[in-house]
Structure formats: C-alpha cells, structure tokens
Structure 1
Amino acid sequence: MARSDASAPFDRLDWFTLLADECFPADRCFLAVARDEDRIAVLPLRQTAWGLEQLGNWYSFFVRPLGSLDADLLGAIIASLTQPVRLAPMPEAEAIALARAFRGEGWWGAIDENDINHFMDIPENGYEDWWASRPGALRETVRRKGRGGAVVLTIATAFSDVDWADYETVYARSWKPGEGSPAFLRRFAQAEGAAGALRLGLARADGVAVAAQFWTIEGKTAWIHKLAHDERAKALSAGTLLSHALFRHVMTVDGVARIDFGTGDDRYKRDWMTASRPRYRLEYHRPSHHRSWPRLARMGLARMVRRPLVSPAPAG
C-alpha cells in the first residue's frame, strides 16, 4: 500500500489516511484485513448511516480490494462484517471476485455498471502515432490557436503556492461545481510534488491564468485528476492547448505506458482517449438481517429491468 512502480494513487495507505482526515472526519474509516501466511487481502471501508461503504469519493478513480483476490481471503473479510456493503466505482475483475465472495458467504445483492472510465494505452510510436489519429478538428484547433503565442503554457513538477493559487482561481471561474474538499486536494498535490509525481499545467494569457490541469504520474500511468478553464477566455482554446501539451509531455518526457481520464462519460474525453471500460457498483446484504429486506426487495425489482454482471442469489 505504498508508492511503487506498479501502484496507483487510490491504492495507497497515505491516500486513505488523507481521505479519512479531510473528507470523512466524522466517519469510522478502517481497513478490513485477512491474511494467510504471505497472502493478504485488504478491503478499505468506512462506517456510514447507510452501512459500510467504500473508503473513497469523487476523487477516487476507482475503489477495490487490495492484495490477493483469493476467494478464501475475501470470504474471511466478508464473514467478519455484519452490516450491508455498498462499493463504487469498481473495476470489473475486482468487482466480480468480490461479488462471488459475498455470494459464497451467503449474502444477497447485485453488481451493476454505474460509470465509464476513459483511458488509452500509448501506441508503438508514441506521441506521433497518437496525435495523427486524433480528430482533424482537434488537431486544427491546436495548430491555429497555438501559432499566435497568445497563450503561454507551463508544466510544473514541484508544488508552488503561487501555481496552486492560480489553479484554484481558474477552477473557481470555470463551469465546474464547487470543489468538494480543497484542503484534501491541496495536501494531495503537495505530497505528489514532494514525490516528483506532480504535473500541474497552467495556461496564461497576458500573465493571467486562464486554464489549469492537475495530473500525477505513478505506476507508468498518467492520472488526469482535474481540469478547468476560465469561461471568459474560452475563445483562446487555452484548455485544449494545455491538454495537448500535457499529453505530449507525459508521453515524450515521462514515458508513461497509459493515460487514465478517471470516471465520467464526457464527450470531450473521446477526442483525446482511445478506449473506455465500465466501472461497477456492488451492493450486498446479509439476508438474515430483517432491516435489509426492504433494500433487497427494491434491488430485486431493479434487476427485473436491468441485467446484472453477476447474477446474485434470489432476493426473496
């Protein structure tokens, strides 16, 4: 659960600790662990009024059990739980493994698609092949808007109070909703800067920041956490120019193997990325608990109109 050549930000212990400190200070956040000699499985959870939910939120590209997906280890974790469990968004392999473990322990529930993740694996010839394959309108926008020099682009790899203030100003002037936890994001950016993983892109016009993007590099992947532009400078296409610069940087300088655009099926992501995959929502209950019966009944009705990925045991 530490940073490594194969890690993701959302699997690290410091990520969960930061979430608990800044986003869930009133909840009981914990790691449910099962171990068998050198094999270990970990399920990050938090106690809520609903029951047990993922130790994650809108900042998490995904949530999942960590370590081994061995059915016995996952089953041991589930056997220790007494309250209903609801987790999302989950990658497919981990969602299926965990759903099977719940069923193996006699729990009832369902697993369904609930989101989309856009991503791309870097092609053989890297940036050149990728850029040549992008929509003509996108490439023309970058060519036309970039040649005048009206927008100055920078990509910072170390945290700076000045740069972060510019990022927050742009975000506040953008179409984006209010930031859920500014303190969380700032602390995360500071830690990533200290680790050399920060890629904070800023576009300025006449010395004023008009577009900003927050990326990190980890596990041979570039993770796109946040992007925003000032609506008043939309005609400059500063956000498009900044995206192009960051994509080129992480491919040619950082040498990443993949770029991940997080969750959300926004149309603009299709211009930049080459693939997508579903994310899943998992909800399971102990049928012996009478308080779960109304929820299971509602889930049973919902399954009549949509097909779950893994068919659960009948819910009554």
Structure 2
Amino acid sequence: MGDSALWVKGEYFDDFDAVEAAARGSLDRAAQPILFDRLAWFRRTWEHCPPGVRPLVARAVSEKAQCWLFLARKEDLSLTALASWYTLAFRPVFSGVADDAMKLRLLTAIAKRLRGTLKAHRITLSPVPVEDGSAKLLAVAFARAGWKVAQSPATVNWVARTTGLSFADYWKQRPGELRSTVMRKAAKTDLEIEIFQSFDEAAWQCYETIYEQSWKPEEGAPGFLRTMATDEGTAGTLRLGVAKLAGRPVAAQLWTVENGAAIIHKLAYVEDAAAHSPGTLLSAAMFEHALDRDQVSLIDYGTGDDGYKANWMDDARALEHLEMFNPRTIAGWFGWIRARLRNLVRGRRVD
C-alpha cells in the first residue's frame, strides 16, 4: 500500500470534539501511557495557553494504525507544535499496531499532505525527544516528503533510572554534599511534610501561595495546572507535596506518577525560608515516596539543564528543536537558507 493510500481516511481537524469522535478512545488515558500524548492534554493546552490562532490536527490512517500530529496555525500562516511551557515532550502520537516502518509511512503521509494540500511554509516542533527516536522519525519523514529540515538543541531532560531501587539504595548513589545537607537541615528544622494523592483545595491554595512568594516568574496559566491537578488527582496519579514550617507553607512540588514513571512538573519554595532548605527536604521526601511506595523505575525532572538536577538525577536526555521548511514557497525557501546558515555556523545538521 503506497503512502497516498494511507490518506484515503486521512483528515484535518480544527475541533477537539471531532478529534475525540474520530479517535474512538485511542487518544485517552487507557490507550496512551504518556501524559503528553493524550487528547486531554492537547485540549487543555489549547484552552489555557494556545500557541496559535487555530488548532490543526492532522491524522493519517492505515488498516491497523493511526498517526496524529497536533499542531497550531500561527498568524504568519506557519504551523507550530500544539505545546506550551508545561509540555515536557512533544512527538507524533500513534495508536493501533504500528512498527517503525509503519510509523514512518504514516508520518510521511502527513508531511506530504501538509506540504502539498495545505502548503504550509514552515513547521516548528519542540521539545522533541531524541532517545525514543521521535526526533529522527520526524526529520526522516519530513525530508522524504520534500521538506528541508533543520535540527538544533532545545534543552535537556534529566532522569534517574531507578528500577528495583529502594530509596536507601538510591540515596547511597547521591553526592555526599547533598546527603549531608539533607541530614543537617532535617536535624535542625521541624518541617511538616504532607503528600497528597488526590486533589485537595487547601493543599492547592498552599501551592499557589508558595509559588507567589517564590523566586519563580509569574505562572503562565495557573488554570492549566489546577485543571491538571484535579484530573490527575481523580485518576490517582497526582503527588502534591507541601512542606510547612511552624504552620506556614514554605515549599511545594507537583508530581505525577503513572505506569512506573514519576514526573516532576513544578517545584517552588518561599525565598525567606531558604536558609532551612525546605525545597531540598521536600524533594528527599518526594523521592522516598516515589521509590518506596510507588516503586517507580524512572524519575523525570522535566526540562532544563539546571545545575542542581545533576545531584538528584543520572542522565541528561537531549530534546530537539525541529524546523521544517517548504521549499515550494518563497517564505519557506528563505527560512531554510537562514536556518542552514545559522546551523552551519553552529555545526548542526541541516537536511
């Protein structure tokens, strides 16, 4: 079956209810093990922090599998990933039975459609994981479909691989300075820590208060996080840690735990309590809970190459920024030339 045949049932969508009807549950929690690949995540992103003026969801269908690419139209008529600063990984989403060859065929069909029928001049996708093959798959598929592809580093994703480890085992592997800090501060600080696994209004108010008093910039879309915490609490995957000092909330962390992986989404502490290291002590408690109670095999510290993450994590996984340019358009051609010159200077790949 050629690539063109894959589009017999292929479609574009700009309405999430229509996507839900067409997906028939294949984009729901039960079918998609990763939070960022679910329709609910994309729907929530568009509701609270839309990256463009209209959503554009592309689908390619084969007899046994489907490929979805969630995009947004920009005012300059380019396309971008339907993602936000809360999105820790963006990739094409597959359902059904799709081996590597089928995934490539489906994604290439989407890329050809976007270049031909839609005539988009540029598509920007970020942050795309490298380790799971998503960045390479996208680059190869779009290059095969006639796009010019430029790749550059977006950021990194620190992780700890914890299969079979208790917290005690994990803790022995941490730097001595970190272990010493936790021991000293815990002995001197009467910190009350509670970890919530379902949504709690009072706990959430503590989180918001702590965030407002922290060094963090203003929250981009607090409604997004609240809705996420509510939904994940209902699903039993929420881990919201709150630390109090003399009854005052001073540190909070928002995690999710699902399918053997813990993801650290947000953390903050009150600046005037920094001398007590409440964030570090809360982290130790959250890691202990994830390892000894949830028994996760992976802890994901989100995006960003912050120096302190290396103390808690094992490896930094690359995340890529991909730009695809349509050489059939003037804007696409000149965009590719600029990207080529920029990446040649940086020693990066341009196809």
Shorter-chain TM-score category? over 0.9
CA contact (8 A) 1:6 1:219 kept: no
Name the count of aligned residue pairs: 311
Partners of 2:228 and 2:154 lie apart in 1 by 26
Query: In structure 1, which of residues 109, 114, 119 is the aligned counterpart of residue 159 of structure 2?
Result: 119
2:80 alignment counterpart: 53
Partners of 1:259 and 1:6 lie apart in 2 by 19
Query: In structure 1, which of residues 55, 58, 66 is the aligned counterpart of residue 93 of structure 2?
Result: 66
Q: Give the partner amino acid of 1:61.
A: L
Partners of 1:148 and 1:290 lie apart in 2 by 65
SS in 2 for 1:250: helix
Deviation at 1:61, TM superposition (A): 0.5
Partners of 2:39 and 2:310 lie apart in 1 by 32
Partners of 2:52 and 2:345 lie apart in 1 by 37
SS in 2 for 1:75: helix
2:58 alignment counterpart: 32
CA contact (8 A) 1:5 1:218 kept: no
Say yes or no: does 1:19 pair with 2:53. Answer: no
SS in 2 for 1:251: helix
Identity of aligned residues (%): 40
Deviation at 1:118, TM superposition (A): 0.2
Partners of 1:299 and 1:286 lie apart in 2 by 13
Higher mean C-alpha displacement, 182-191 vs 60-69: 60-69
Deviation at 1:123, TM superposition (A): 4.7
Task: Spell out, residue by residue over 1:117-144, the C-alpha distance to the aligned partner (whole angstroms, 9 max, x if none).
Answer: 1001105433222100111111111111
Partners of 1:222 and 1:216 lie apart in 2 by 6
Distance 1:133 1:5, change over 3 A: farther
Say yes or no: does 1:143 pair with 2:194. Answer: no
Query: In structure 2, which of residues 321, 332, 340 is the aligned counterpart of residue 300 of structure 1?
Result: 340
Partners of 1:25 and 1:293 lie apart in 2 by 24
Task: Spell out, residue by residue over 1:122-178, the C-alpha distance to the aligned partner (whole angstroms, 9 max, x if none).
Answer: 054332221001111111111111124521111001111111111001001111111
Query: In structure 2, which of residues 69, 74, 81 is the aligned counterpart of residue 43 of structure 1?
Result: 69
Partners of 1:264 and 1:125 lie apart in 2 by 25
Partners of 1:266 and 1:287 lie apart in 2 by 37
SS in 2 for 1:210: strand
Q: Provide structure 1 residue ranges, at least 5 long, that are not aligned to the other structure.
A: none
Q: Give the partner amino acid of 1:117.
A: N
Q: Provide structure 2 residue ranges, at least 5 long, that are not aligned to the other structure.
A: 1-26
1:75 alignment counterpart: 108
CA contact (8 A) 1:5 1:219 kept: no
Query: In structure 2, which of residues 34, 48, 54 is the aligned counterpart of residue 8 of structure 1?
Result: 34
Task: Spell out, residue by residue over 1:39-74, the C-alpha distance to the aligned partner (whole angstroms, 9 max, x if none).
Answer: 111111111124110111110001001114522211
Deviation at 1:31, TM superposition (A): 2.1
Give TM-score scaled by structure 1 length.
0.94
CA contact (8 A) 1:6 1:218 kept: no
Partners of 1:111 and 1:52 lie apart in 2 by 16
Distance 1:32 1:87, change over 3 A: same
Distance 1:25 1:58, change over 3 A: closer
Say yes or no: does 1:284 pair with 2:324. Answer: yes
Query: In structure 1, which of residues 180, 183, 187 is the aligned counterpart of residue 220 of structure 2?
Result: 180
Higher mean C-alpha displacement, 42-51 vs 250-259: 42-51
1:263 alignment counterpart: 303
SS in 2 for 1:80: helix
Deviation at 1:258, TM superposition (A): 0.4
Distance 1:195 1:206, change over 3 A: same
Q: Give the partner amino acid of 2:85.
A: W
Query: In structure 1, which of residues 211, 218, 221 is the aligned counterpart of residue 251 of structure 2?
Result: 211
Partners of 2:31 and 2:256 lie apart in 1 by 13
Higher mean C-alpha displacement, 276-285 vs 75-84: 75-84
Distance 1:303 1:288, change over 3 A: same
1:91 alignment counterpart: 129
Give TM-score scaled by structure 2 length.
0.85
Partners of 1:240 and 1:258 lie apart in 2 by 19
